[in-house]
């Protein structure tokens, strides 16, 4: 039975795209092709890392989010925000000010995602102890990495830790707490403020879960711009003083690089930025590195602080969160009033729901569902590759000669789209110059090739 398609938060606006190839060249999984002068996304390769979004010079790639006005469909409107949101603001703006402004925008309750970290940490230690023979165990915190392993390193899916991320744990806790306080579950909407596209995709089509406890997702840059503009201009009229719940130093720093690995037992390593992760996993898969107990892998540079939907410099964000963590350590023994039942009250119930189903491999390298047919296609790819120049120029509309050979075998391209093959065919009289010109028009569009020089 064929797996359902991944949900993708990234969308290419064809009427804006100029076919510049910036996105095709940066994509770590070669998920983008150029056809008729426009970039196209290959669904089964994309992990929603957002690197294409970041490099597009004409803003032709967008990250879709839920309409902000959707929050008003619910009587109880919860903003579930990650700690990196507070790191977007200058040091002179407090967490309470930020939360107050979010409530002024329309939310009735504010919770931080990292409320679920301590529960996850305890479960993670138990999981590692129980699976000591599996090395390395890989964190499932970053959804882009989970999908990357599914499609590019399917042999490693069994190494992924089958536990929910702090986001889902906190969402389950919030729902339970507010329902226990007497709110109608049907009038309760939980909206996550996301720093990246991959987490939108994870909410819309969860891996290892049937559905997500999150109602909707709002992009962090959108929320930051709305809140910071009012604070900066002194136009905030909020008199709300929301409670800021206690969090440990570990919780505040969890989403940053080394946030998990610093607390894992045994030999642990942290690798951030998806190209670095791919290089590392390729060596790991070739057994060049052994005896690693735990891997923390993150798609973004400096992890969530470098998410594509953040606005602040990632290094300043890290610095601010480290300052906040130090302050949290100094205040950890000072009780704070109110706030209802803490997550610890729901510990036993949440631990029953903290596990997820094993992640299934979905290799992008699989050329066919039938093994015999796949082997034939692989042989054909190897034969075609010998005819190609191995320069990865991208003029054929594919990011590399290897991906171009695979596209040919899958019926998505033809050999004479390669400009080097065209010259050879022209020399042998197999192809005319006019035919070569027509082929390049199909790839790059008329605008690029109908210019007078």
Q: Are 277 and 149 in contact (CB under 8 A)?
A: no
> CA-CA distance, 39 to 59, in Å (whole number)?
13
Check pLDDT > 90 for residue 355. Answer: yes
Amino acid 7: pLDDT:
85
* Mean predicted confidence (pLDDT) in 118-135: 93
For residue 334, the model assigns a pLDDT of 53
Question: Would you say residue 448 has pLDDT above 70?
Answer: yes
Q: Are 78 and 107 in contact (CB under 8 A)?
A: yes
Correct CATH for 1-64 of 3.40.50.11540, 3.30.70.20, 3.40.50.720, 3.40.1190.20: 3.30.70.20
b/e per residue, 252-266, with b = 16+ CB within 10 A?
A: bbbbbbbbbbebbee
3-state secondary structure of 290: coil
Section 291-318 average pLDDT: 96
Strand positions, DSSP E, 16-163? 32-35, 38-41, 61-63, 76-81, 109-112, 137-138
Do residues 139 and 156 make contact, with C-beta atoms less than 8 angstroms apart? Answer: no
Tell me, what's the pLDDT at 5?
A: 62
* Domain regions of the chain by residue span: 1-64, 68-351, 367-453
Q: Given this model, what pLDDT does residue 237 score?
A: 60
pLDDT (tens digit per residue) in 61-101: 999 999 999 999 999 999 999 999 999 999 999 998 999 99
Tell me what pLDDT residue 338 has: 45
Position with higher pLDDT, 340 vs 344: 344
pLDDT at 1: 35
Whether the Cβ atoms of residue 191 and residue 175 lie closer than 8 Å to each other: no
Band of the pLDDT at 400, cuts 50, 70, 90?
very high
5-to-29, 42, 46, 150, 438 alpha-carbon distances in Å: 16, 11, 11, 13, 34
Report, as an integer, the average pLDDT of 360-381: 87
- DSSP characters over 226-286: HHHHHHHTT--------------HHHHHTTSTTTTGGG-SSSEEEEESHHHHHHHHHHHHT
Average pLDDT over residues 348-368: 87
pLDDT computed for residue 362 by the predictor: 85
Q: What tokens does 273 get?
A: 């930025």
**What's the confidence (pLDDT) of residue 207?**
82
Q: How confident is the model at residue 239 (pLDDT cuts 50, 70, 90)?
A: low
pLDDT (average), residues 168-192 = 95
| 337 pLDDT tier (thresholds 50, 70, 90) | very low
**Cβ-based neighbours of 339, under 8 Å, separated by 6 or more:** 243, 245
Q: To which residue do tokens 């695979």 refer?
A: 406
pTM score: 0.91
Across the range 225-244, mean pLDDT stands at: 75
CB within 8 Å of 403: residues ≥ 6 apart: 30
Q: How confident is the model at residue 330 (pLDDT cuts 50, 70, 90)?
A: confident
């Amino acid at each position: 039975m064929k797996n359902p398609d991944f949900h993708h938060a990234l969308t290419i606006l064809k009427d804006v795209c100029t076919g510049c190839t910036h996105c095709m060249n940066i994509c770590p999984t070669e998920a983008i092709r150029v056809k008729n002068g426009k970039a196209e996304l290959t669904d089964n390769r994309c992990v929603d890392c957002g690197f294409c979004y970041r490099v597009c010079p004409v803003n032709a790639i967008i990250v879709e989010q839920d309409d902000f006005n959707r929050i008003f469909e619910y009587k109880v409107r919860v903003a579930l925000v990650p700690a990196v949101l507070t790191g977007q603001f200058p040091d002179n703006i407090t967490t309470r000010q930020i939360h107050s402004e979010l409530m002024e925008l329309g939310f009735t309750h504010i919770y931080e995602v990292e409320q679920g970290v301590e529960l996850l940490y305890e479960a993670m230690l138990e999981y590692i102890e129980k699976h000591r023979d599996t090395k390395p165990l890989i964190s499932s915190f970053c959804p882009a990495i989970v999908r990357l392993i599914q499609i590019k390193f399917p042999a490693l899916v069994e190494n992924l830790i089958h536990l929910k991320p702090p986001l889902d744990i906190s969402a389950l806790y919030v729902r339970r707490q507010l329902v226990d306080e007497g709110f109608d579950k049907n009038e309760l909407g939980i909206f996550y403020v996301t720093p990246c596209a991959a987490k939108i995709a994870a909410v819309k089509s969860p891996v290892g879960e049937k559905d997500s406890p999150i109602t909707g997702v709002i992009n962090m840059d959108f929320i930051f711009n709305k809140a910071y503009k009012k604070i900066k201009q002194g136009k905030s009229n909020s008199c709300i003083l929301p409670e800021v719940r206690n969090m440990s130093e570990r919780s505040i720093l969890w989403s940053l690089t080394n946030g998990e690995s610093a607390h894992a037992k045994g030999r642990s390593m942290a690798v951030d930025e998806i190209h670095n992760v791919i290089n590392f996993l390729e060596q790991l898969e070739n057994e060049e590195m052994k005896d690693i107990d735990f891997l923390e892998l993150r798609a973004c540079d400096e992890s969530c602080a470098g998410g594509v939907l953040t606005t602040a410099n990632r290094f300043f964000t890290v610095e601010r969160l480290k300052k906040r963590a130090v302050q949290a350590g100094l205040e950890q023994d000072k009780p704070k009033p109110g706030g209802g039942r803490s997550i610890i009250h729901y510990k036993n119930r949440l631990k029953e729901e903290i596990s997820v189903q094993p992640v299934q491999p979905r290799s992008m390298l699989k050329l066919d569902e039938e093994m015999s047919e796949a082997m034939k296609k692989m042989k054909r790819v190897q034969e075609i590759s010998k005819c190609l120049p191995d320069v990865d120029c991208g003029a054929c509309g594919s990011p590399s000669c290897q991906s171009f050979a695979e596209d040919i075998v899958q019926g998505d391209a033809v050999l004479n789209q390669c400009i080097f093959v065209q010259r050879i065919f022209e020399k042998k009289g197999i192809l005319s110059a006019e035919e070569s010109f027509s082929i390049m028009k199909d790839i790059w569009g008329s605008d690029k090739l109908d210019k007078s020089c």
